[in-house]
A and B are shown apart, each in its own frame.
Chain A
Amino acid sequence: MSVDDRMVPHKPAVIAPGHTSATVSDQIGEIVFRKTPRWWYFAFGGSFVLVMLLLMALTKLLVEGTGIWGLNNPVGWGFAIINFVWWIGIGHAGTLISAILLLLRQEWRTSINRFAEAMTLFAVACAGLYPLIHVGRPWLAYWLLPYPNTMGMWPQFRSPLVWDVFAVSTYATVSLLFWYVGLIPDLATLRDRSRSPLKQKIYGMLAMGWRGSAAHWHNYETAYLLLAGLATPLVVSVHTVVSFDFAVGQLPGWHATIFPPYFVAGAIFAGFAMVLTLAIPLRAVFNLHDFITIRHIQNMCKVMLATGLIVAYGYLVEIFMAWYSGHWLEQFMILNRITGPYRYHWWALILCNILVVQLLWIRRVRTNPVTAWIIAMFVNVGMWLERFVIVVTSLHRDFLPSSWGMYSGTFWDWATFIGSIGLFLALLFLFLRFLPMISIFEMRTILPKGESKS
């Protein structure tokens, strides 16, 4: 970054000049109290229709079972696991922005951390849905947890699938705690700003009587830093455990030691793409150009470029290891990926995740919101294709040619996937309407005046 800073004579600021503690509080806080804009009804309504589609798909699933999906022998893992990994990866950027960038004192994170954390929560909610419905009988999903039962049985703690239960539920809980702790002072601001007694009561209860006391801030800051310190290794562990679901299985295409680091980098890559996908339109419709500046977009593009290169390295190592292992099953798997029946998926993923992303080396491309958004969309698609290729191409050519098969999603697979995107967007629009999407109190601390004092 520093090299780049020296090259740019006027570095775009993280907050537009002329703002004070009052204007920041007013402009961000007022979004919640303003009359609901008309576009919001259309946006929320559209997402809600997709939520209905999700509910329909789930009802059909509960009535008829997983047979409505495209799963078969040999492809016993399909959309459910692909979408699970896709969603949970998206969530990782929120934690990265809120925790790791906080510890690294990257103050530009301040204006995007709140909604990136919200994005994490909603993405984890969507992710958690899939293992739950994939067990086939979701009403017995509590069997995954260790509890004394009349069957006298306990979970197998040597299985990565059990590790996954603990990793994902811990991640969901800690993300929620982190998000809520960050919200408390802002909820107090909303309580003090609102003129309607009902809103005062609701925000007041949620703020739990926060009054900004110096003694409280002291403990609060300690708690926030400790949470960031805890969330940082947690986020790395979650996608590592997700990659173990594959890597521990003895299947060519999955059984690789590169999986944990390459999955973690892929998660951050996908997550920053989603943050850009959301931040760029929101900045336009809510007129937040003062707070989410070109500097933010450029920095996020840089993170995307760096993690994208790690992902590209992961793909190369997979190909290299297939050759270097000298094992014909590994070599067949890679050749089948590149030239087999799913070759179009593989080449599309290379296009989306590696080739298009290289455009971000050009400053004009990464400082233009439109081009940055288009590239982020490519990455969103590319990362979904990556999981599709990993899951399906490794399974569909079984060890015996008599067991070979093909896989494609059915209508209900797609309905569940698109429905979960609707759920994510619906939750996001509710969040934008009722809670401050930018952390107000943290914005106050990065104001030029606040900076010199603390």
Chain B
Amino acid sequence: MEYARKVGLYGLIAEFDTSDRLIHAAEQTRADGYRKLDAYTPYPIEEVSEALGHHGSRLPLLVLIGGILGALGGFGLQYWVSVIAYPLNIGGRPLNSWIAFVPVTFESTVLLAALAAVLGMLALNGLPKPYHPVFNAERFALASRDRYFLCIEAEDEKFDREATESFLQGLDPIGVYEVEN
């Protein structure tokens, strides 16, 4: 670990040609005790997330909060405008005519929930991120085409330059490359 920091090594990355090999490798790596690792795939693969131990997401909670804020804010605005700030008596009808406020309340609920979903997703993923070391790996551009990558970070307690490389080599990859910081 200390050695890795000195030479500016981010980690070791292995390239696989099928999703099956990657899923297998991710499971093996977790079973072997590595914890600081991430997989990179051209499309979402549920088994990879599961193998890496990503369970649940805080996003639905954020969206729920956004939706509740939108509903309260939307209705509150209409109530305040129609009852307090600018009351108009039209034929003696109630000022808080809540039925007429339903459409705008619905729209503001959806708007804030959708904004929470997108901004929350970006925030949880730490995006936008202009620089990330993993892009230094040669051939990493293929992760957005048809190759599957597994990276063990040098930060990991168990990381050892030689032992980790031979471990990754044993998982039947196309190649194992260094990722510089």
Contacts and interface: CB of A to CB of B under 8 A. Distances in A.
A158 B131 CA distance: 50
A189 interface: yes
Contacts of A2: none
Given A192-B145, A453-B20, A226 B43 contact: no
Contacts, number: 195
Contacts of A178: 114
Contact of B115 (A146, A177, A180): A177
B125 to A, nearest CB: 4
A37 interface: no
B40 A25 contact: no
B49 A214 contact: yes
A45 interface: no
Contact of B52 (A160, A214, A222, A233): A214
B86 interface: yes
A217 interface: yes
A22 B19 CA distance: 13
B85 A181 contact: no
B167 interface: no
Interface stretch (B4-12, B97-105, B169-177): B97-105
A21 B59 contact: no
Contact of A215 (B52, B141, B144): B52
Interface stretch (A205-213, A355-363, A401-409): A205-213
A253 to B, nearest CB: 22
Interface string A209-237: 11111111111111100110011011001
A167 B103 contact: yes
A445 B118 contact: no
Nearest to A450: B43
Given A155-B81, A188-B144, A192-B145, A453 B45 contact: yes
A444 interface: yes
B49 A215 contact: yes
A162 interface: yes
A185 interface: yes
Nearest to B26: A214
A173 B44 contact: no
B92 interface: no
- Interface centre among B26, B49, B54, B125, by most chain A C-beta atoms within 10 angstroms, is B125
Given A211-B132, A213-B40, A217-B44, A230 B117 contact: yes
Contacts of B45: 214, 217, 453-454
Interface string A229-252: 011011001000100100000000
Contacts of B143: 192, 211-212
B40 to A, nearest CB: 5
A449 B20 CA distance: 10
Interface residues of B, number: 64
B126 to A, nearest CB: 8
A157 B146 contact: no
Interface in B19-69: 19-20, 23, 26, 38-49, 52, 54, 57, 59-60, 63
A156 interface: yes
A223 B118 contact: yes
A287 interface: no
- Interface centre among A22, A205, A218, A453, by most chain B C-beta atoms within 10 angstroms, is A218
B138 interface: no
Contacts of B46: 454
Given A163-B103, A444-B42, A208 B144 contact: no
B144 A192 contact: yes
A233 B108 CA distance: 13
Contacts of A189: 42, 144-145
B107 interface: yes
B36 to A, nearest CB: 12
B110 A170 contact: yes
Contacts of A204: 130
Nearest to B106: A237
Contacts of A205: 128, 130
A218 B127 CA distance: 14
Contacts of B163: none
A315 interface: no
B170 to A, nearest CB: 21
Interface of B: 18-20, 23, 26, 38-49, 52, 54, 57, 59-60, 63, 77-78, 81-82, 85-86, 88, 97, 100-101, 103-104, 106-108, 110-111, 113-115, 117-118, 120-122, 124-125, 127-132, 134-135, 141-146
Given A25-B42, A220-B44, A454-B44, 20 more contacts: A146-B81, A153-B86, A157-B101, A160-B103, A163-B103, A174-B114, A193-B145, A208-B128, A210-B127, A212-B41, A212-B42, A212-B143, A213-B38, A218-B44, A233-B106, A234-B107, A237-B106, A445-B43, A449-B19, A454-B45
17 contacts: A174-B110, A192-B141, A192-B142, A192-B144, A209-B127, A209-B129, A213-B39, A215-B125, A219-B59, A222-B121, A226-B59, A230-B117, A237-B106, A241-B103, A244-B103, A441-B44, A444-B42
